[in-house]
Amino acid sequence: MDFIGAALSGFAVYIIKFYKFFISPLLPAACRYYPTCSVYSIEAIKKFGLIKGGFLSIKRIITCNPLCEGGFDPVPEVFSLKKIVS
């Protein structure tokens, strides 16, 4: 990962941590997954970079709603767009 990509990924992780520690405690607990969506997003961005990790994070946040079952959903070992879309 180049310097700019690493800096942008680091900034995104910082924003998520800010949300996790300062905004999330003010809201009722709503995440249906383990690890929580914020922890998942941080792990995905650190593992795959801002674009791929951000894509995984957005997909996860979209599916985290009262209509989903939730449960254990770790960051995948390998990024596969085919597996994610299906």
- pLDDT tens for 10-62 read 999 999 999 999 998 898 888 889 999 999 999 999 999 999 999 999 999 99
Comparison of pLDDT for 32 and 81, the residue scoring more: 32
74 lies in which domain range?
Answer: 3-85
Which positions ≥6 away from 39 have C-beta within 8 Å?
20
Q: Between the CA atoms of 10, 11, 12 and 15, what dihedral angle is there, to the nearest 10 degrees?
A: 120
Question: What is the band of 70 on the pLDDT scale with cuts at 50, 70, 90?
Answer: confident
Tokens 């961005």 belong to which residue?
A: 45
SS3 state at 20: helix
Integer Cα distance of 72 and 76 in angstroms:
12
| pTM greater than 0.75 | yes
The predicted structure's pLDDT at residue 16: 94
